Structure formats: structure tokens, C-alpha cells
Amino acid sequence: MKLRIEIAALDVLTLRLFDHIDEANMPWLIAAGQRLRTLFGTDLIDLVPSYTTLMLHYDGQQLSEAEARRRVHAALDGLQPANAEAHGQLHQIPVWYDISVGPDLPRLAQLSGLSIRQVIERHCVRDYSVFALGFVPGFAYMGLVEPELTAPRLSTPRKKVPAGSVGIAERQTAVYPLVSPGGWNLLGRTATRLFDPQREGYSLLTPSDRVRFVAIDRDAFVDLGGDITPMAVEQ
């Protein structure tokens, strides 16, 4: 880990700890977040983690940039990685994998040289770390998928992706919490609500959480309240 501090905006610093996406980064980011929250206390307005960085928004009425930088260095001096499994939660998300709601399953099978069944099995084989939230409320960037499932985003994004759609882009995986445009490769759909204005914190997932996808059949999906409407074919 090598700290680089960059100015992102007024009273906002980007703390760049790593150069590459890696699940091994997460314990360090968790530990850094804990130290920074303790040292900044009420002078901290927000702390936003990502794959390799922490965006730190401090109270410019109380701290100068020089003091904020001093506290950052003090917080990260001698940092040791946290036990990632002791932080956050493990969520099991049931998914109905089917071409009618996961139209890119054949494409992923072709790119990987696997059968559709093997693609599904590979996607369900491990726990994924939640690295960051963004794009739309509740959209969690997770990874890393098995190397053979790596697939580029669609060259032309879809105009409308149904809520609950599960997709892959490069070595990331995610669930669309809301109806939105999107260019990820879609494998299936879940009835789990990742964003709920009535839920405390709104988002089901937060950085440092882990996710395990569980394959279910159509009947189980319907019993959970899932929407079986097939994906519309865009012209």
C-alpha cells in the first residue's frame, strides 16, 4: 500500500492507496476507514470507499487542508489490514438464471467456451466483495468473477434494463436495483430489493459486505415475488 493524496474538490481529498483492483485491497480500505473516522471525528463529513481509493470530505470550516493531510498521514501510519470477514455482512441473493431474463447467457457461454450451465455454476461458486456503490442508488460493484467469465460491456448499452437484473462487466458483477439504461452482460434476475427508500440506509449492500448468488428455478423466483416478464428486444 502506497498513499497518494489528491485534491478532488474544495474540502475533499482522494486518498489513493492502490493502483489495481484486487480483493486483497478491501481489508486495508476497511482498516483505513476505521482509523480516519476515529481521527477526524466530527470534522469528517463523508468517507466514500472505492476499489483503490477513499474519498474524504472534511469540514473546511474546522480544518485547513494542511491539518486534514496531517491527520490522514497520522491515521494511516503503521496501518494493518482488518479482518474483512469480521466487518460487513454476507448476503445470499437468489437468482433465476434464464435466457428470457438473462439474454447474454449464450454470449458469455460462447466467450468463455463453457456451457450455459457451467457459466451459471461459475457465477455462483464464490463470495463476492462489495467494493463500492454508484451509478444509481443501491448499485453495488462486486468482484471478482472467475477469470473465464470476464466479458466486456456491450458495445451499445440497452436503453432499459429491468430492476433485479444480474450482470457481468469485465471481472465485476452487479445487480441493477432500479430500471435504468445499462451495458452489462445479463445472466438472470433476482427478486431481492437492493434499494428501498423505507430501509435504514436505503441500500441493502454496503462496501465490505460479501454476496453469494444462489441459483433458483422459475417457480421459486415467482414465489419470492420475482417479475418473469421477458427482456424486450431493442431495435
The predicted-structure confidence for 119-132, as pLDDT tens digits, reads as follows 999 999 999 999 88
* pLDDT score of 235: 44
Contact (Cβ atoms closer than 8 angstroms) between residue 47 and residue 62? no
The confidence band for 86, taking pLDDT boundaries of 50, 70 and 90, is low
Statement: residue 58 has pLDDT above 60? yes
Q: State the Cα torsion 129-133-139-141 to the nearest 10°.
A: -40
**How many angstroms separate the first and last alpha carbons of the chain?**
47
Average pLDDT for the chain: 92
* Domains of the chain and any CATH numbers: 4-85 (3.30.1360.40), 90-223 (2.40.100.10)
Predicted confidence (pLDDT) at residue 18 exceeds the cutoff of 60: yes
pLDDT tens track for 140-151 = 999 899 999 999
pTM passes above 0.75? yes
In the structure, what pLDDT confidence band is assigned to residue 22 with cuts at 50, 70 and 90?
A: confident
Give the neighbor-by-neighbor strand order of the sheet with 44-49. 4-9, 12-16, 53-58, 44-49
